[in-house]
Amino acid sequence: MTELTPRLAAIQKKLAVLADAAKYDASCSSSGAQRKRDPNGMGNSEGMGICHSYAPDGRCISLLKILLTNFCIYDCKFCINRISSNVQRAKFTPEEVIWLTLEFYRRNYIEGLFLSSGIIESSDATMELLIRVARGLREQHKFNGYIHLKVVAGASQELIEEAGKWADRISANIEMPVQPDLDLLAPAKTIDAATKAMAQIANKVIETKDNLKHFKSTPKFAPAGQTTQMIVGATSSPDAEILKTSQELYNKFSLKRVYYSAYSPIPNADALLPAEKPSLVRENRLYQADWLLRYYGFTANELVNDKNPNLALDIDPKTSWALGHRESFPVDVNKSPKAALLRIPGVGVKNVERILQLRQFHKITLLDLQKMHITISRAKYFVITADHNPNIWLLDSESLDARLKPKAVQLSLFDQPAQDTSVKLPYVAAAV
Ligand code: SF4
């Protein structure tokens, strides 16, 4: 084996520290990138639909996901890189990150870069370093691969605009659903500062789209949009607070995604933090509920509210809602409007479109639904077809609950699954 030069050995050492430090941020996914291939450049993220990510439990992405540095002047209690942490520290130069990205890219290891950072000196000074990386890749190296840059908390509007000029996606992390949670664990941060950055990004995206209609030469701005991340289970905030905040963020700032990251216990953690890792089933249920908000016409308040502040862990949120709203079923797939079809457990958005198409030509039967790969064992209790009427009223709530809920699984919010099913759950399980 060839021996590494001292420079390469030093970079490798930093990489080990800064890639490990970045794994706590779940807010990267590169779906939606549309950067076209430049014949004189390198890389192509157009239409790749890259959608990889990894959290501490090892879910995989094919972006180079690193921090520029894990030094930080802030002391967010949930973060392993907080100033009071005794974790090993390292700092890349922008040139080193550029070199690493290009080398990984040439070897086909990655399709792009996700770059975040601890805050050094000031928010603007850190943001400038992140921008130097993205700008250097694009301008000097004609890099057309995917770039996701983190917006540093408190960075100026000019720098946020500059970041969006070079990156496909930018993200400002809100971290917690409500200000009291931040006051408790990250007193230097505010929801207002995060949402102000999101508003600036959203406005610039709209402005750029408008300008593009008139001037084709308008510079791009974060064409893959913005995302954010919320940490789940580090405070006692219930799912109702989390989903209410997500809904507001989607409505106000057109976010592409809110990522939910189950709090990962860190070494020498503050006593305010839970000692145990929250169940990843909760994280998964939040992703399912999030899909219902974005694609199925549900509101947060329908799924969780003062009476039921947390999502059920033993059943998906859509089926749970259906069981609590028997009066809305059965839905006649041959007559009901799209909004009602979207609420049928086991029927996804694409299948709703197929049903709407097919019923123009003939009466839909159970076999038709089966051919669409709809989970009949679940859907049959909630639909009327040409050859089936479930007579749902004959099924008392207990017997229907028993049929639809998995047997002998009683999970509490902070239980770990008996077997390690958490890692086998799809990252974003279909919320149908
Ligand atoms: S500002 Fe970011 S890196 Fe620094 S302690 Fe807070 S969460 Fe961690």
Evaluate: CB of 74 within 6 angstroms of ligand 1. Answer: yes
- Per run of 10 residues, the mean pLDDT along the chain (length 432 residues) is 79 90 68 50 42 40 88 94 94 96 90 94 96 98 94 94 95 96 95 96 94 90 94 96 98 95 87 88 96 98 96 95 92 98 96 98 97 92 93 66 63 36 30 41
Nearest to residue 97, comparing CAs of 67, 53, 61, 128?
A: 67
Q: Does residue 155 have its Cβ closer than 6 Å to ligand 1?
A: no
| Any ligand 1 atom below 6 A from CB of 185 | no
To test the pocket of ligand 1, the residue of 82, 117, 123, 152 to mutate (highest count of ligand atoms within 8 Å of its CB) is 82
Q: Whose CA is nearest to atom 5 of ligand 1?
A: 82
Residue nearest to atom 3 of ligand 1 (CA): 118
How far apart CA 351 and CA 343 sit, in angstroms, is 12
Ligand 1: atom nearest CA of 79 is: 8
CATH code 3.20.20.70 region(s) in the chain = 6-278
Q: Whose CA is nearest to atom 1 of ligand 1?
A: 74
Question: What is the CA(188)–ligand 1 centre distance, in A?
Answer: 10
104 CA → ligand 1 middle, Å:
27
Burial of 328 (0-12, 13-18, 19+ CB in 10 A): middle
Rounded-to-10 torsion of CA 365, 367, 371, 376? 90
Topology adopted by domain 6-278: TIM Barrel (3.20.20)
From ligand 1's centre to the CA of 291, what distance in Å? 28
- Longest CA–CA span in the chain (Å) reads 76
DSSP 9-76: HHHHHHHHHHHHHHTT------TT--PPP-TTSB---TT--------TT----SEEEEESB---S---
pLDDT at residue number 299: 98
Give distance in angstroms: CA of 185 to centre of ligand 1. 11
Q: Is the CB of residue 82 below 6 angstroms from any atom belonging to ligand 1?
A: yes
**Rounded Cα–Cα distance for residues 76 and 194 (Å):** 15
Given this model, what pLDDT does residue 1 score?
56
Of 119, 152, 175, 189, the residue with max ligand 1 atoms within 8 A of its CB, to mutate for a pocket test, comes to 119
Give the distance (Å) from ligand 1 centre to CA of residue 344: 42
Kindly state the tokens that stand for 74.
């802030």
Q: What is the pLDDT of residue 153?
A: 86
Compute, in angstroms, the gap from residue 73 CA to the centroid of ligand 1. 8
